[in-house]
Amino acid sequence: MLTTDPIEPVWLEAFETVLRRCALRPGDTVAILAESQSRPSLVELAQLAAARLGCKPFRIVVTSPFEPGPPVRSTGASAALQQIGPVVSALAASTLVVDCTVEGLMHAAELPAILRGGARVIYVSNEHPEALARLLPSDDLEPLVKDHIKRLRSASTMRVTSPSGTALTIGMTGAVCGGNWGYTTRPGTLTHWPGGLALAFPAAGSVNGTLVLAEGDVNLTFKRYIERPIRLRIENDYVTAIEGAGVDAELMRSYIAAWNEKDAYAVSHVGYGLNAAARWDSMALYDKRDFNGTELRAFAGNFLYSTGANEVAKRYTRGHFDLPLRNCTVQLDGVTVVEAGKVIA
């Protein structure tokens, strides 16, 4: 059972700050979307903050679905809405949707209809509120992320290398690029808090080479720091070999095979973190139940490689790995944007 944390004033101030950055005005309708397994403190904080800003908040709570098969984690594709028409309509008609579902609506099937209705959506990552309060959006994060989104969109090739042996080439032609900085003011858009990363969904057949997960890199699906190296061989988007000894490699081979789908081995998205306030070591300080890991996707200088669904390449699967790597160098058309894990100013 999820525990209910006492509401702390600094957490409420953090929620007010973020909702205020979403350009809410008195009288705006704010839908707080939750499911039966949502973290209660996040739902409560969202409603209190919206009310304090003079908005008209209301809650929609749906039942968390049971999904047979392998456990689903870290997908960004909540199945909680179950295509319930009245719920989707209510969300689409709202000024802002504060998404407190466990997995988030980022890749949910119902999201396009919600955005077409004109609502803007902010997914509050399923973190302990203390982590969210630490990672408030800053004034300089939005222009930084926007600049790197432009760089991604104008590039034809991304090249990623590391001292551990990563040597990856990613064709950027036809990729869909984006990013977020933790808030949104435009109708029909989605963001998530914490924010601070720029990423691309490559077109089919664009990714080739070797990706080496070194000691201290992260498997966010398992919420686990890598202790023994794993070498992934990637050919035309697909992982063709998972090489390595020890539990880390065994877990990856076992979970990805459990989906029994070729597309579970394919690339979902690639990108890099830009949030200087986010910490690589934070995962060691939280219980797994109190940690979703968006901070580790966004910490400045990490290279994020993800497997699983990629709508740009017309691939759909529930299997998903988010793999933030340290100490990588990322080049766009030969220009270095991240050098040895440090974002180039």
Per-residue pLDDT tens digits for 176-226? 999 999 999 999 999 999 999 999 999 999 999 999 999 999 999 999 999
In total, how many domains does the chain have?
2
Beta-ladder partners of 321: 307
Is 218 inside a domain boundary? yes
Query: For residues 36 and 102, what is the distance between their CA atoms, to the nearest angstrom?
Result: 9
Residues 277 and 308 in one domain: yes
Question: In this structure, are 158 and 51 located in the same domain?
Answer: no
Statement to judge: residues 199 and 333 lie in one domain: yes
Same domain for 75 and 172, yes or no, is no
- pLDDT band for 76, please (50, 70, 90 cuts): confident
Which residue, 108, 134, 160, sits at the end of a domain? 134
Residues 41 and 66 both lie in one domain: yes
Q: Is the same domain home to 119 and 160?
A: no
- Can you give the pLDDT at residue 1? 40
- 254 and 114, same structural domain? no
Label the pairing between strands 329-332 and 157-161: antiparallel
107 belongs to a structural domain: yes
Residue 4's pLDDT is: 66
| Residue 1 maps to a domain | no
Stated as kind and residue range, the H or E segment containing 152 is helix 141-154
Domain with 128, as residue range(s), is: 9-134
Do 149 and 203 reside in the same domain of the chain? yes
Together in a domain, 83 and 120:
yes
How many percent of the chain have pLDDT more than 70?
A: 99
| Cα(289)–Cα(219) distance, integer angstroms | 16
DSSP labels for 43-98? HHHHHHHHHHTT-EEEEEEEPPPP--SS---S-S---TTTT-HHHHHHHHTSSEEE
Clarify whether residues 268 and 301 are in a common domain.
yes
What is the amino acid identity at position 70? Answer: P
Question: Are 325 and 302 within 8 A, CB to CB?
Answer: yes
Range in 1-10, 60-69, 162-171 with the lowest mean pLDDT: 1-10
Per DSSP (E only), the strands in 45-139 are 56-62, 96-99, 120-124
Model confidence at 98: pLDDT above 90: yes
Q: Is residue 19 part of a domain?
A: yes
Please state, in angstroms and rounded to a whole number, the distance separating the CA atoms of residues 133 and 193. 10
Per residue in 231-253, pLDDT (tens digit) is 999 999 999 999 999 999 999 99
| 190 located within any domain | no
Environment class of 259 (CB within 10 Å of its CB; exposed 0-12, middle 13-18, buried 19+): middle
* pLDDT tens-digit readout, 20-70: 999 999 999 999 999 999 999 999 999 999 999 999 999 999 999 988 888
For the full predicted model, state whether its pTM sits above 0.95.
no
Pair (292, 275) in one structural domain? yes
Query: How far, in Å, CA of 118 to CA of 94, rounded?
Result: 8
CATH number of residue 35's parent domain: 3.40.50.2300
The reply to whether 18 and 130 lie within a common domain is yes
Kindly report, residue by residue over 298-332, the tens digit of the pLDDT: 999 999 999 998 989 999 888 899 999 999 999 99
Q: Is residue 265 part of a domain?
A: yes
Give a yes or no: residue 295 inside a domain.
Answer: yes
The answer as to whether 250 is a domain residue is: yes
Q: How far apart are CA 217 and CA 58, in angstroms?
A: 40
**CB neighbourhood size of 67 (10 A):** 10
Q: Which of 8, 277, 26 is nearest to 139 (CA)?
A: 277
Q: Is the pLDDT of residue 15 over 60?
A: yes
- 127-141, 151-165, 309-323: the lowest-pLDDT one: 309-323
Percentage of the chain beyond pLDDT 90 is 90
Predicted confidence at residue 317, as pLDDT, reads: 87
What is the maximum alpha-carbon separation in the chain? 58
Interhelix angle for 9-21 vs 40-52, to 10°?
A: 60
Q: What value does the mean pLDDT of the chain take?
A: 95
